[in-house]
Amino acid sequence: MSSPSAPPRWLMLVLMGCLSFLLVFFLSRSDLAGSPAEAAIASPTATPVPTSFPEPVPLPTPAPTPEPTPEPDWSQPVPEGEAANQEEWFSDAVFIGDSRTDGLKLYSGITSKAAFLDHTGLTVYDVLNEKEVIRSGGEKLSVLGALALGAYGKVYISLGINELGYYDPQGFSEAYGQIIDAIRACQPEARLYIQSILPVNSAKCKANDVPYYVTNEGVSSYNSILPALCEEKKVFLLDIPAELRDESGESPDQLSADGVHFKKAGYGLWLEYLTTHTGQ
């Protein structure tokens, strides 16, 4: 039996050429696709984690809640404070009172545009009963009627010396309280000041035939009801200026004109007291 003959040489060369072609073809495909590791490297790079952070914006410190202004002790006289500018302070003020208030207007040196509703002998009962005693534009008006014609920021009231003859502090207080209510209804934005009755000079009162009932004992009894009245109505109480009362409670001789009214210097001291006792 004869052995199989070897394939022709040319056939072997063709087969080897085909194998070489296939090897080259698959190697080129592998280079185009890349390896898995290379594919991972070619993928988009992940965002790096920051190593520092921005400073936090501080929150604004909340403003402290203001403490409410304590209510005054209305039963106590207004304490002394820094002197107010007279021109500014009294420019929207009105003064209600008797002949002593008229003296304040004429002789104290007050230079502001303050209004004065005063009448000699004026009492709380005249005001309450709307007695027409204030001259305005050729006619007479009551104090409350004249008060209603303007708008005021401050109302100063000084009454009581002419009421001493009634010997009725309680009745005086009740009438005064009704006047305060009427003024507040008329001037709701105004600060109300009740002034203590100023003392008299007993010797000069006697020398000038001032009615017998005008005494410092009477003044004190009427003044004693004012703290409770001011506390009830919530109005400012003004005390007697220290310079207008000596150690015995009398109006100083050198400042008193006729026992009841003052000399110019006395009215000046009264005005000075008002500018330094505003309750501000």
At 270, which CATH number?
A: 3.40.50.1110
Higher pLDDT, 214 or 45: 214
**pLDDT value at 214 more than 70:** yes
pLDDT bucket at 248, cuts 50 / 70 / 90? very high
Distance CA 218, CA 202 (A): 12
Whole-angstrom distance, CA of residue 224 vs CA of residue 226: 6
- Within 10 A of 173 (CB to CB), how many other CB atoms are there? 18
In the prediction, which pLDDT does 26 show?
59
DSSP type of residue 262: B
**Does the residue 153 lie in any domain?**
yes
154-181 pLDDT, tens per residue? 999 999 999 999 999 999 999 999 999 9
Residue whose structure tokens are 């203001």: 66
- Is 176 a domain residue? yes
- In this predicted structure, which of 34-43, 114-123, 218-227, 254-263 has the lowest mean pLDDT? 34-43
54, part of any domain: no
Residues 197 and 219 sit within 8 Å (Cβ to Cβ)? yes
pLDDT at 90: 97
Q: What percent of the chain has pLDDT over 70?
A: 81
Give me the mean pLDDT over the 200-228 stretch. 97
Residue 103 lies inside a defined structural domain of this protein: yes
Helical segments of 187-260, H only = 202-207, 216-223, 226-233
Instruction: Specify if 143 maps to a domain.
Output: yes
Give residue for tokens 């109005």. Answer: 235
Q: Phi and psi for 74 in degrees, rounded to 5?
A: -65, -20
Residue 57 lies in a domain: no
Contacts 24+ apart (CB under 8 A), 119-123: 119/143, 121/162, 122/96, 122/97, 122/98, 122/159, 122/162, 123/98, 123/159, 123/162, 123/163
DSSP string for 130-158 = T-EEEEETTEEEEHHHHHTTS--SEEEEE
Total domains in the chain come to: 1
Tokens of 111: 């230079």
Domain hosting residue 104, numbered range: 86-275
**Tokens 């009551």 identify what position?**
142
Q: What is the pTM of this model?
A: 0.77
Give yes or no for residue 43 having a pLDDT over 90: no
Q: Residue 17 falls within a domain, yes or no?
A: no
Query: What pLDDT does residue 245 have?
Result: 97
Q: Does residue 182 sit within a domain? A: yes
- φ/ψ region of 277 (left if φ > 0, alpha if ψ in -120 to 50, else beta) reads beta
Q: Is pLDDT above 80 for 10? A: no
Q: Position 147: which residue type?
A: L
pLDDT higher than threshold 90 for residue 124: yes
Q: Which string of b and e fits 207-241 if b means at least 16 CB within 10 Å? A: eeebeeebbbebbebbbebbbebbeebebbbbbbb
